[in-house]
Amino acid sequence: MKKCMGDDVQLLHVRLKKIIGQLNGIQKMIDEDVPCEDILLQFNAVNGALHKISFMILEGHLRHCVREGIESGNADETIESFAESLENFAKMA
């Protein structure tokens, strides 16, 4: 994945650690019987963070892997692979 993500790998790790922290916080909220509305707000925040990191990965794939595939003469295969990636991203919504 480093090849596709370029310099964004460290940023992805930071974002993932934050998401893990948010999920741990949600577990604690459930244990402490925090109101459901507050828990749902936190889940919404996690969902948004996951969507953002997924978009970053998709963008990195486009900027690095897709560009490299097209430049190396594998345009059809590369475009098909990117279309599959877009479909997977769209399923997150």
Q: Give domain 8-90's CATH superfamily.
A: Metal-sensitive repressor, helix protomer (1.20.58.1000)
pLDDT, tens only, 32-85: 999 999 999 999 999 999 999 999 999 999 999 999 999 999 999 999 999 999
Lookup: tokens for 74:
């594998």
Asked if residue 8 has pLDDT above 90, the reply is no
- Is there a contact between 82 and 61 (Cβ–Cβ < 8 Å)? yes
For position 2, what pLDDT does the model report? 47
